[in-house]
Amino acid sequence: MTSSLTYVVHRALVAGLLSTIASPPLAFAQPSSNAIAATAQRSEAEFLVPPQGGAFEAPIHAGEVCILSFPEALSSKALASSPDFEVKAWGDDGVAIRATGAAAKTTTLALATQSGTVKVNMTLTVVPPDKPAYTLVRFKAASAEEAFEAQLKDAVARRVAPLEAELTRLRQNLDDHIRDRADGLIADRLLKRNDTIALAAHERNDDHVIVHVTRGALVGDDGYLVFEIENRSRNTYRLASVRVQAGDREVSGPARLTSPSTDRDPGVIGVVPAGAVGRGIVVVRSVDQVLGKSLVLTIAGPAGAGSIRLDRGIVFR
């Protein structure tokens, strides 16, 4: 399920990237990713303008002044499409813009520097006070590649953001789904069979590590052996394997051990510090096939060290 989810996300990312590359030139009319990030906090934006010029959009608040700043002196004329905006020179290399009212219509403003290296067509839109708006927009001349790269980066970021959010949501849903499946499986098995058997099998090794098998449980088609590892040696006992055998046939499933500390070795199930007791459990697969048969439980550390074999007193009935 996780792999299919990854595939879907991958496809979505690829599709988004392709559509971004294929989008019309107006897509240049977006601030760089840095500018987007800064806008929400400082109401500033920086646009990279390719040599052939660019079209950009800027939201502004009615009554507030927005400065358009250029890297060099502007030509004397700025063309505006609507009388609802005041446009005044702000030094040689800037323009101050103010919307005269909240009802000001969207306008476009054509500007160019004297050398002609920066040519822009700004689309100014008045937005309500609760929406973010710019008060300072900087234009920076850039190569076509730089502008395209910035635009591509921004477009990908915008495309990926909702996908990441969706991925996070799906992951959360996946965890919930797995939990629900597991709970349902346990419930089904408990309904089928739920018996507990008292056991009293004990054995030790030469290092004073003792295993007590205290009970067994029959849940659904499987059985569980509950055991304790009483470590009375002076060294930590590292549990690496738990095997259950019925004759020569191995019937054990996964094993778990609760212990107060962990081990870096991924092959170690758990550790029992010196003087401590660890509680463990091992699954016995298809327990119906071994009912009434004497089982052998063998636990061991890495490379079989400190193995303990219990071969009496473990019978599911």
Q: Give the footprint of other proteins on this chain (CB under 8 A).
A: 200-206, 208, 212, 232-234, 275, 312-313
**With respect to other proteins, which residue has the nearer C-beta, 105 or 312?**
312
**With respect to other proteins, which residue has the nearer C-beta, 234 or 317?**
234
Q: Least Å distance between CB 7 and other proteins?
A: 55
In the Cβ-directed half-sphere of 112, how many Cα atoms lie within 13 Å? 10
Q: Least Å distance between CB 231 and other proteins?
A: 10
Q: Least Å distance between CB 2 and other proteins?
A: 46
Q: Least Å distance between CB 308 and other proteins?
A: 9
Q: For residues 311 and 279, what is the distance between their CA atoms, to the nearest angstrom?
A: 19
Q: What is the DSSP string of 153-209?
A: HHHHHHHHHHHHHHHHHHHHHHHHHHHHHHHHHHHHHHHH-EEEEEEEEEEE-TTSE
Q: Least Å distance between CB 208 and other proteins?
A: 5
**With respect to other proteins, which residue has the nearer C-beta, 94 or 301?**
301
**With respect to other proteins, which residue has the nearer C-beta, 122 or 201?**
201
**With respect to other proteins, which residue has the nearer C-beta, 100 or 236?**
236
Q: Which value, in Å, is the radius of gyration of the alpha carbons in the chain?
A: 35
* Close Cβ partners of 167 (under 8 Å, ≥ 6 residues apart): 5, 9
Give Dmax (Cα) for the chain.
Answer: 101
**Residue 274 has what DSSP assignment?**
T
